[in-house]
Amino acid sequence: MAKKWLLFKQLAIKSWIMFRRYFFNSLGGIITLYVIFLVIFLGYKGIAGLGPTDQYLSIEGILVGYILWYLALAAYQDVAYTIQNEAKQGTLEQLYMSVHGFGWVIGFQQIINAFYSLLIAGILAFFLMLTTGKWLNIDLLSLLPLLTLELICFAGVGFALGGLMLIFKRIDSYMQIVQFVLIFFVAAPPSNWLLRLMPGTLGASLIQKVMNGGEALWQLAWQDLLLTVGVALAYLLLGVAIYRICERKAMKSGTLGHY
């Protein structure tokens, strides 16, 4: 266990160095996300022409959905692009030769990436609320478990795409398609069982109830909470299974570390 803690510590230090060294690029990403939301917000106000009450409710929903969309993007892209970048740099095979095993390395890296994603989402949410004047219910005790489940769910999507990258090497166009599909997943109301089983849809609805409706975690329906946990774990296991299948195929063909 001490060795695993040392691995986690070193990966955390590496991530902090990379974040600090390329902070200007990270800041540019936050600014880009802010500007995109600003365009959506101003465009919505111009088209809708709603009164203050309707606008308050609708803008809150868009704000929460936008933050969740960013977290979904970060969760699946962190996994897929980590694998792609390691292959580009020629270090993917070295990670597989690690005494800790590739699973521990990529798993710890995604935990660290999730921390930075939540940090950036918090900063982004503050400025979006400041801009719109709509202040959401930030109940960390209720939000962190739900957000963690969302990140786990979309990490499964990332593992599946990462596996496809091992075989096809470049799937950037499909990654872009997934970005738009995620908008549907986080915005669609879980009105039937099919939608409730989609990745992140039910979890996004519960987060809306907390941030937009002021409900606490223990006030949510326990059936919905259990289903959210089950869906998140199911997509994570499915994504890892797809990755393992693609991994074995890439190893047999001798193209694991090729790009």
CA distance 29 to 254: 36
Taking the CB of residue 24, how many other CB atoms lie within 10 A of it? 7
pLDDT reported for residue 206: 93
Which is nearest to 244 in space by CA: 106, 64, 42?
Answer: 106
Q: Kindly report the average pLDDT of the chain as a whole number.
A: 84
Structure tokens at 70: 């960013």
State the Cα–Cα distance between residues 102 and 11, nearest whole angstrom.
Answer: 13
Lowest mean pLDDT among 151-155, 225-229, 249-253, 255-259: 255-259
Q: How many whole angstroms from its chain centre is CA 27?
A: 18
Per residue, the 3-state secondary structure of 220-254, as one string, reads CCHHHHHHHHHHHHHHHHHHHHHHHHHHHHHHHHC
Q: Helix, strand, or coil here: 198?
A: coil
**Torsions phi, psi for 199 (to 5 deg):** -65, 120
Name the token pair of 227: 């289903």
Q: Which of the four pLDDT bands, split at 50, 70 and 90, describes residue 54?
A: very low
Mean pLDDT of 76-104: 77
Domain positions in the chain: 2-253
Burial 148-168 (b: 16+ CB within 10 A, else e): ebbbbbbbbbbbbbbbbbbee
Residue 25: predicted pLDDT: 82
pLDDT of 224 above 60: yes
Residue 145 has pLDDT above 90, yes or no: yes
